[in-house]
Amino acid sequence: MKLFIRLCTACLITFAFLFPVYAIDTAPAKDVYEDVFLYAQHLEQGGALEEAEVEYKRYLFLQDFSRGIHQTSTFKSLAQLYAKKEQWQLAADTMKQAIQSSIYDGQNSQDTDLLRLKHIQYLSHLEDNLYIFSYINFAEYSQEVRRTAFLTDFKSCIKRGLWQGAREKFDFAQQEFQDLFTPEEVQIINTSLQSIFAYKPKKQLLAGYLSFIPGLGQLYAGDPLDALNAFVLNGSLIAVSAWSICTLDLWTFSLLEFNPLVHFMQGNIYNAQKDAYEYNQKKLKGFSDQILQIVDAKIH
């Protein structure tokens, strides 16, 4: 009996000594720099964005990367700060780090996809980005991510006037994302693209040449009010200058009329070419707006 009591006592003493060590090893990891992260959040919520950016970076520098529990959130917050300042390349790069951190931490795929959707939003402000291409074409990504990436890329082509690229991307979507657009939407997009390719734009060079006859270049460019204004102003100045030359009043012509006549003619040519450009942009915008309305409704 005494032996049993001694054995139990020895076990209790051993347990009393070993339990604290075991508890430390198995306790959930504590982020010792969590206060820095929380302070950065407080600064951001208070509108002190520059100070918040510094604190977020300090947290990333100080924390133990194997135990820090706010790494993904910090990268995400930093990306949002860059986006507010329209530093889109920094925002996209930092959101990519947030995605990698999310995967490393074993977060669920839905949370990671939310980060990818934000990443795509930031990438939409950059041109010809390979990440957009990978999001569209790699089957490992969810359908929501792939479709959003496609719509963003398609919209970028439309806004930049890359009509052939837009046509090719739309044909790709017809095969890869067959239920992305309704039959009615497919018809509208096809009709709009056909109208864009069939449109014959006004020639700016021709508008400039025609403007040597006051108002004719603007009339060709589809701006009758500007044409009337050019005809009255330039035509009057030309008439006065012609009268001075015919009456041999060369002093008045050279001193008062020649320089304004040259400047008015230069302005007339410039305005005619500008009117032609704006007319073309307006026509193409009328065709493309129908496509953008469909795409925007699906992105948002």
Per-residue burial over 51-66, b if 16 or more Cβ lie within 10 Å, else e, is: ebbebbebbbeebeee
What is the CATH T-level fold of the domain 32-126, as seen in this structure? 1.25.40
* CA 62 – CA 145 distance, rounded (Å): 33
Max mean pLDDT among 125-139, 143-157, 235-249 falls in: 143-157
Which of the residue ranges 130-139, 162-171, 207-216, 256-265 has the most confident prediction, judged by mean pLDDT? 162-171
Q: What is the mean pLDDT of residues 266-272?
A: 75
Predicted pLDDT at 198: 92
Average pLDDT over residues 65-94: 88
Q: What integer pLDDT is reported at residue 17 of this predicted model?
A: 45
Q: What is the pLDDT of residue 233?
A: 65
More confident residue, 65 or 86: 86
Q: What is the pLDDT of residue 261?
A: 53
**More reliable by pLDDT, 6 or 69:** 69
pLDDT of amino acid 207: 84
Highest mean pLDDT among 12-21, 164-173, 258-267: 164-173
Query: What mean pLDDT is reported for the chain?
Result: 81
pLDDT higher at 123 or 17: 123
pLDDT given for residue 104 in this prediction: 85
All structural domains of the chain with their residue ranges:
32-126, 129-180, 204-299
Q: Which of 105-114, 143-152, 207-216 has the least mean pLDDT?
A: 207-216
pLDDT in tens, 1-57: 555 455 555 454 454 444 444 433 444 456 778 888 889 999 989 989 899 999 999
With 80 as the cut, is the pLDDT of residue 160 above it?
yes
The pLDDT value recorded for residue 66 is 53
Question: pTM of the prediction?
Answer: 0.74
pLDDT for residue 16: 47
Confidence at 232, pLDDT banded by 50, 70, 90: low
pLDDT computed for residue 213 by the predictor? 76
- Rounded CA-CA distance 280/269 in Å is 17
Answer yes or no: is pLDDT of 256 > 50.
no
